[in-house]
Amino acid sequence: MKAFVVDRYGKNESLRAADVPEPVLREDEVLIQVHATGVNLLDSKIRSGEFKLILPYHTPFALGHDVAGVVVRVGPRVRQFKPGDEVYSRPDDFRIGTFAELVAVKEASVAIKPRNLSMEEAASIPLVGLTAWQALVEKAKLRRGQKIFIQAGSGGVGTFAIQLAKHLGATVATTTSTGNVAWVKDLGADVVVDYKTEAFDKVLGGYDAVLNSQDGKTLVKSLSVLRVGGQLISISGPPDVQFAQEIKAPWLVKQVMRVLSFGTRRKANRLKVGYSFLFMKASGSQLRQITALIESGAIRPVIDKVFPFEATNEALAYVESGRAKGKVVIKVR
């Protein structure tokens, strides 16, 4: 089958179009014929080697973390799916590889595709949807009447998280550039800070939660917009000790994460707010809950561009440019 693979870690390394063997199907997995796949900043960070500490992939390997497609084969222990089912998923770590014609995914990480979405629309959802769900529902436990600051409202995670937060009944603040202010308000943002003309930490305050997706300087500023007892959840680092324990990291990796997050944790403690790092996990059961929201119309996919499969490197470069409004998708089939 055809796939786009990482041969060497590096920021400027292109993915190689290759003929590779079909994935070996395990007993609890379904083999999915990939119709479309989403492109995420995580793909770029893994290719550049930024996550080698926690995700030590051995090259060469196929990249890609989102899939929408059709089940072609199932393992002997699979009970929920059958060949012909239209499904979507964020494959588990170390079983990624959706920039390919076929991918094997654990049954527990797969859900039936929303009926009202195309394959391309469905492929835009899993990683950003699960990230937002795990940040807002699981970690922040966001409730009606609370206030949340979601950074980068026009990005892939931002566009989904704004809609989810509004569905949960929260007041939502976000940042974006001048040209996107009306657009993110249409998604549901109540307070929009134009980062080209305003500093968010000067105009926001008393928030219950922050979803941080930006750099370290932005993270530190974001801590100051929280009320006492509020919490900041970061999907861009630094990883903390609790995360190291969750992934059962070796002792040395735990110490590295302790050091990396020390300054952030100390600042959070001084301000009497919470800090946690989120690296989202695959979950078919959570995707099914997201499916219900999509089919009810509470959340809609936001796609910027769809690239053909042969333009996978161009799609990745476009995501890296930071210009995308919503998600970038690759049409594989």
Query: Which pLDDT band holds residue 80 (cuts at 50, 70, 90)?
Result: very high
Is the pLDDT at 241 greater than 90? The verdict is no
Query: Which pLDDT band holds residue 174 (cuts at 50, 70, 90)?
Result: very high
What pLDDT score does 181 carry? 95
- Span of 46-50, 143-147, 251-255, 292-296 with lowest mean pLDDT: 251-255
Fold of 2-125+301-331: Quinone Oxidoreductase; Chain A, domain 1 (3.90.180)
| Tokens at 289, concatenated | 């809950």
Taking only the tens place, the pLDDT of each residue in 60-77 is 999 999 999 999 999 999
Q: Residues 312-333: what's their mean pLDDT?
A: 96
Listing DSSP states for 265-299 in one string gives HHHHHHHT-EEEE------HHHHHHHHHHHHHTS-
Q: HEC string of 179-208?
A: HHHHHHHHHCCCEEEECCCCCHHHHCCCEE
Is the pLDDT at 10 greater than 90? The verdict is yes
Residue 172 exposed, middle or buried by CB count within 10 Å (0-12, 13-18, 19+): buried
Tell me the H-state helices in 114-177.
Answer: 119-123, 126-133, 156-167
Q: Residues 199-219: what's their mean pLDDT?
A: 96
Is the pLDDT at 244 greater than 90? The verdict is no
Please, are residues 114 and 291 in contact by the beta-carbon 8 Å criterion?
Answer: yes
What's the predicted TM-score (pTM) here?
Answer: 0.97
Quote the percentage of the chain above a pLDDT of 70: 100
Tokens 């946690």 -> residue: 276
Q: Residues 282-302: what's their mean pLDDT?
A: 98
Q: Residues 114-122: what's their mean pLDDT?
A: 98
Query: Which pLDDT band holds residue 54 (cuts at 50, 70, 90)?
Result: confident
Fold of 128-277: Rossmann fold (3.40.50)
Domain spans of the chain? 2-125+301-331, 128-277
Quote the percentage of the chain above a pLDDT of 90: 93
Given phi > 0 = left and psi -120 to 50 = alpha, else beta, which region is 284?
A: alpha
Is the pLDDT at 95 greater than 90? The verdict is yes
Mean of per-residue pLDDT scores for the chain: 96
Is the pLDDT at 248 greater than 90? The verdict is no
Query: Which pLDDT band holds residue 152 (cuts at 50, 70, 90)?
Result: very high
